Amino acid sequence: MVTLTLVLEVRALVAAPVELGAAPGGRRRLVPITGGTFEGRNDLNIRGTILPGGADTQFVHDDGVTEADARYTLETDTGLRVDVRNRGLRHAAPEVMRKLLAGERVDPALVYFRTTPTFETSAPELQMLTRSIFVGTGERYPDEVVLQFFRVD
């Protein structure tokens, strides 16, 4: 039987999206990740900050579906670093997506936002992150993205 265990909660601060332009079937944009915090849950006893300099590159399809590919680095309070790559999909009803993409606040329950994070670290005590499969849920707010990562057990 498969179970999901909440392992990590991330609160990424983001700047305004940078529109990169039209592409066949949609448009590309980049969302700078300027900082934030994270905290481990259950058997992952860590907390810390998100280093500035990450970004979420997105392809927004003409139908409103957004493909996201975010890369950023976590730094624990003890100085350990974890590189994160988080790919996902986000979509909702057209009127909800228009508001979301315009930077307006929308009810997260109206948006499908799921991800598949992967982690890289040299820290021996964090190797569980590199040796497990994770799925995530997300909530987008005007200046923040809140993510929960679950280990597939």
Nearest 5°: the CA angle 141, 82, 11 is 15
Determine the pLDDT at residue 134: 98
Percent with pLDDT over 70 in the chain: 100
pLDDT at 20: 93
pLDDT mean for each 10 residues of the chain (153 residues): 96 95 95 98 94 97 94 98 98 91 90 98 96 97 96 96
pTM: 0.94
Residue 118 is part of a domain; what is its CATH number? 2.40.160.20
- The pLDDT value given to residue 102: 86
What is the structure's pLDDT at 147? 98
Domain membership of residue 18 as a residue range: 4-152
Q: What is the pLDDT of residue 69?
A: 98
| Model pLDDT, residue 115 | 98
- Which residues contact residue 54 at a Cβ distance below 8 angstroms, ignoring those fewer than 6 apart? 12, 32, 33, 70, 71, 72, 73, 84
| Beta-sheet pairing, 66-76 with 26-40 | unpaired
Please give the tally of structural domains in the chain: 1
